[in-house]
Structures are given as C-alpha cells and as structure tokens.
Amino acid sequence: MDSESLTQPDVQQEMGIALVALQRRNKTIQQIKIAGVWVALVAVLTGGLLLLHIEPGYMLQHYNIILQGAWTTIYVSFVSILIATAIALAGSIARLSSNSIAQGVSGFYVSLLRGTPLLIQIYVIYLGLPQIGQQLTELGFPTIGRMFILDAIPAGILALSLNYGAYMTEIFRAGLQSISHGQREAAIALGMTPWQVMRRVILPQAIRIIIPDVGNQFIAMQKDSALVSVMGVWEITYLANRYARRDSKYMEMFLVGAAAYWILTIISSWLQGRLEKRMGRAYER
Amino acid sequence: MVTPTTPSVKLADSNIIVKAENVNKYFGALHVLKDMDLEVRRNEVVVIIGPSGSGKSTFLRCINHLEKINSGHIYVNGHMIGYHDRNGKLVEDSERNISRQRAEIGMVFQRFNLFPHLTAIENIIEAPMRVRKIPEEQARAEGERLLARVGLADKRDKYPNQISGGQQQRVAIARALAMKPGLMLFDEPTSALDPEMIGEVLDVMKELAHEMTMIVVSHEMGFARAAANRIVFVDEGQIIEQASPEEFFANPRSERTRLFLSQILH
C-alpha cells in the first residue's frame, strides 16, 4: 500500500510525459504531411505551366528587374503603414472623444475614405489636386499652389496612408474600446490625467490587440500598392507589366511579379507572428 | 444651504476628512442616493453595509468623483470634490483639478483592476512616478517596502496574471498606498475572491485600519466587527442607521436593519 502510493505519482508523471511526446510527434507528422501537399501543388502548377510552353529561362533572366521594383513596393508600403498608423491613432482617439468637432471630422473622414475606391483616390490626388494647384497659382498663391502638385511616389504614399488610415481608425477604435472600463477607473482614481491614462494604461494594452490587425493591413497594403503603378511608379506591378508587354511574355512576367508579392507577404506574416509573441509576454502564466 | 463661492470651506472641525451633505444621485429616473449625509473623522474606519443595489458602492464612488452627483456637496479635506460653487450653482471642475484631488484618495476595487501589462512593482510605481513625479529609484524603493508590507516581496516582478486573486488585491492595496493618500476607499474588496483568499486581504486591511482613515463597503461582518469604528447601514439610497459595531450588532434599532442582519448572519 505504502510503496504503491509512493510510486503512483511517478507513474502518472511518466504517462503524462509520454502523452505529451506522442502529441508532439503526431503534430510534427501532420506538419510534414501539410508541407508535402504544398510541394505537390507547386509541382503540379509548375508542370502544367511547362506543358503550356512557359519559358522558365526568360523568368530567370528577368527576375532581378522585379527585385528592383520590390524595393519600391516595400518602401511605399512601409512609409504608408507608418503614416496610416499615426492617422489611425489620432482618428480613433477623436472618434471616442466627447468633443463633437473631433467626432464629426473623424467620422466624416472614415466614411468618405472607406466609401470610395482606392484607385479613384489615387487619381484624385495625382491628377485632380494639380488642377486646384493651378487655380491657386492663377489666384496669386504659387507657393501654396505648388504644394498640390505631387510626384507619383508621394501621391501614392498619401493615397495609401489616407485610405488605410480610415480602415485602421476603426481597428484602433475597437481596440481601445475593448479595454475594460475598470482599467480607466483604476488609473483616474490614482490621480492620472486623461492623457496619462491613455498613454500609460489604455494604449499599451490596446496595442497588443491591434497589432495582429495592423499586420494584416500591412500585408493587404503591400498588394494594394500595386495600384500606384497606374501613376508610373516603378514598383513590382509596373515593371512586370512593362516587360510583359515589350516581350509578349505576360504569363512569365506576371508570375514572377506575383511570386515577389507572395514572398513579401510570407516574410511579413512571419515577422507579425514574432511581434505578437513578444507583445504577449505579460499574458503568459 | 449654499456655501460661499470659495472653493475651500472651513469646516467646524478640522478633524473631519469627509463630509457629505444632502447628496442626491439619479441613474436616469432611478433615485439611487437620497439626501445622503455622512461625516468621517480622521483615522476613523467606517464600514458601509447594506443590501445589493442599496447605493452603497455608488456613494463610495461619488467620494472620489468616479460618479457625478446631481445635488448636494461632498467635501474631502475641506475641499469640495469634483465641483466648485459658482453663484450657488455647482459647476464641474476641470479634469486636471479633479485628478489632483483624486491623487489624495486611494481606492481599491472589487475586481482589483491591476494594469495587466505591468508587473506588480510597475503597477505600484506608475502613479507616484507619473503623477507625483517621484524619481524611479525612490519610487521603486518605496514600492518594494509596500510590497513587503502586504507580504508579497517575492512577487515583485510577476504580472497580475501570474498571481492569485488575493495576491492581486494586495498589490492593488499597495498601489493605492503608494500615493500616500489621506483617505482609503474600499469598494467590496473581497467580493470577487475565492473564499480561501479573503482572509489574507482582510488581514492587510485590519493592519491598515490602525493608522488610516478608511471607508469600506463590504459584506464581511467579521471584518466590520473587528476593525470598524462605526457601521453605516444603507438601504434604498438612504442611511438607515449608524452605530459602533458593538451597538449595531447587539441592538439594531430599525426593523430594516434587523431584517438585513438576520438574512446576512443566517
């Protein structure tokens, strides 16, 4: 009896360890199987394309052109997501404020920018604004007028920032609202001012909730940045299109372009996962 | 009665820390506080008891202006809280002014409300550093002393999620004490705790009761008996009776008090 009760916990522990090892092994096998399916799908696609006389040689010769465009895509998306984040932060605080002007302005902005296509916003900023600039110049304000004439890349960044800023304002608002009212009460009861409460208590907690969504927005933006090719910005899509037309190698060039976006988003997803893990530190038991 | 237009009012007795006069509060059409009057003296421990929905927590939350009042006056340390008098009308203070007043009043919540993204020590030093502008080193030393005082020196670098409910509430008490408040408010501090953790929190509170002015909303009759100087029984937004614990439990005067006590003490 005595010896039995002594050994029992050991046996249980060993069984537990064995069970965990078994589960881990099953999971690894599962992952290997999934990877196998991916490899098979890529092989089938490649095989099919080769049968259709796609020229892999042409693709290999021209992938470095796309690579140059990738830097522009990364640059435009990265700057835009930073500006959009700043807009979203201000916009969400305005939406939640009790000030009716702040609420009105931010609500109007979100509605307008979410309610119209990004492509039209790009056209308005790149092609429409210079018209206003011209009129201002005629009215005798050439310095202000010149500010309305934007180069393609700044115009693209402005359009992407404003558009994504509107969507992200809503994401930030939901994130801020998800922090329990007790947190705010505890902070103000300690004598913290509304600004300190936001900066030190609400925002750090909300950011953890917001980060995955910002990551998703960044991934979406990398692909939406293809739209700035309409202004002749030499990013992935523009370059793919240019060489595709010149050499009539549409499938080849657009596949290389698509692959470039795909690789970018895979890298971004991986970075996003790491960031989320780091932000979750305080919540591990 | 309208007080003069000065923000600070000389009270007849400077030992009175909290003075509430004719406080009325509505939630929509619901009249939750009806002409509440209460005076709390320095170093007094007042325990407010009453059925749920009686308005006792709401009243406590009015004392640091977490809730607005509809009429009446509440003074803490001789200063009207949350409002100033302008030609006989109550005007709400600026956020900055209210924050300054709240810094002098500690509050402990039913659900602890620790900041989950900060460790125990960070929770404690946050307000002293940001509100009082105390240098980090000094705030940390003081914070560690407070953690030791509530028996949690070893949990200094734990996040709230990593400690028990009772431990979280003790950190919350240390956090409130770190501001060196002249008055502590406890809003049902043990109601959200598992039974086995209630004792450790009450022990800390009993210890504090020797040296602080405290207003405690609680259902813990054992604590009330042991630590209170005065028990205030509230029902339907009114103070029904108040007395020393001995008097209160032995000879409740009103019928409603007797009924409540018979229900709560079985």
Q: Can you tell me the ipTM of this complex?
A: 0.91
- Write the burial class of residue A258 (CB in 10 Å: 0-12 exposed, 13-18 middle, 19+ buried): middle
- pLDDT tens for residues B151-173? 999 999 999 999 999 999 999 99
Res B3: pLDDT: 41
B179 and A285 within 8 Å at the Cβ level: the answer is: no
B161 and A205 within 8 Å at the Cβ level: the answer is: no
Which of A98, A180, A190 to probe by mutation at the B interface, max B CB count within 10 Å? A190
Strands B45-49 and B214-217: parallel
Chain A to chain B Cβ contacts (< 8 Å)? 76
Asked if residue A182 has pLDDT above 50, the reply is yes
A204 and B66 within 8 Å at the Cβ level: the answer is: no
Q: Is the separation of the CB atoms in B54 and B9 below 8 Å? A: no
Distance from CA of B176 to the nearest CA of A (A): 7
Res A9: pLDDT: 65
Asked if residue B47 has pLDDT above 50, the reply is yes
Q: Is the separation of the CB atoms in B215 and B223 below 8 Å? A: no
Cα gap B183→B174, rounded to integer Å: 14
Asked if residue B2 has pLDDT above 70, the reply is no
Q: Is the separation of the CB atoms in B50 and B38 below 8 Å? A: no
Res B95: pLDDT: 86
- pLDDT tens for residues B55-107? 999 999 999 999 999 999 999 998 999 998 888 787 889 888 899 999 999 99
User: SS3 of B20, please?
Assistant: strand
Res A68: pLDDT: 87
User: In this structure, what token pair is assigned to residue A283?
Assistant: 């919540």
A188 and B99 within 8 Å at the Cβ level: the answer is: yes
Question: Cα A45 to chain center, whole Å?
Answer: 28
- Which of A 180-209 lie inside 8 A of B, CB atoms? 180, 182-183, 185-194, 196, 200-201, 204-205, 208
Q: Is A283 on the interface with B (CB under 8 A)?
A: yes
Q: Which helix (H) or strand (E) holds B47?
A: strand B45-49
Q: Which residues of chain B does A179 touch, with a Cβ-Cβ cutoff of 8 Å?
A: none
Give φ, ψ of B164 to 5 degrees. Answer: -75, 170
A282 and B126 within 8 Å at the Cβ level: the answer is: no
Q: Give me the DSSP letters along A43-104.
A: HHHHHHHHHTT--HHHHHHHHHHHHHHHHHHHHHHHHHHHHHHHHHHHHHHHHHSS-HHHHH
Residue ranges in A124-249 assigned as alpha helix (H): 129-138, 142-147, 152-177, 181-189, 194-196, 203-224, 236-247
Cα gap B67→B190, rounded to integer Å: 21
Q: Which residues of chain B does A284 touch, with a Cβ-Cβ cutoff of 8 Å?
A: 161-162
Q: Give me the DSSP letters along A37-55.
A: HHHHHHHHHHHHHHHTT--
Nearest residue in A to B96, CA atom: A193
Q: pTM of this prediction?
A: 0.82
B107 and A193 within 8 Å at the Cβ level: the answer is: no
**How confident is residue A280, by pLDDT bands cut at 50, 70 and 90?**
confident
Identify which of A186, A194, A204 has the shortest CB distance to residue B113: A186
Q: Which residues of chain B does A182 touch, with a Cβ-Cβ cutoff of 8 Å?
A: 109, 111, 113
pLDDT, mean of residues A206-225: 93
pLDDT over 90, % of chain B: 85
Cα gap B110→A88, rounded to integer Å: 34
Res A7: pLDDT: 55
Asked if residue B1 has pLDDT above 80, the reply is no
